[in-house]
């Protein structure tokens, strides 16, 4: 229970988006959240999981064995 809980605005700032994006993630249940009364809080670990699961790693293209054809 040592997780830090962030507001929607804090998550938006962390992701570099508007507050509308984290609200949409919550509405579509694509990110974990906690309701505290009427307030919505998102655990920092949930934001990290979201970023990790949506990170696209670069593909290594195999080097051509021979140079370009003229």
At 14-66, the pLDDT tens digits run: 999 999 999 999 999 999 999 999 999 999 999 999 999 999 998 888 776 77
Q: What is the pLDDT of residue 7?
A: 97
Q: Tell me, what DSSP letter sits at residue 30?
A: -
Is residue 67 included in any domain, yes or no?
Answer: no
Helices (H), the chain: 8-15, 20-27, 44-53
Task: Look at residue 18 and tell me if it is in a domain.
Answer: yes
pLDDT band at 2 (very low <50, low <70, confident <90, very high): confident
Please check whether residue 38 lies inside any domain of the structure.
yes
Domain count, the chain: 1
């Amino acid at each position: 229970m040592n997780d830090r809980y962030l507001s929607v605005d804090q998550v938006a700032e962390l992701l570099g988006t508007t507050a509308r994006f984290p609200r949409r993630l919550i509405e579509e249940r694509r990110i974990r959240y906690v309701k505290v009364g009427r307030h919505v809080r998102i655990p920092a670990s949930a934001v990290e999981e979201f970023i990790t699961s949506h990170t696209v790693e670069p593909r290594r293209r195999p080097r051509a064995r021979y140079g370009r054809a003229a």
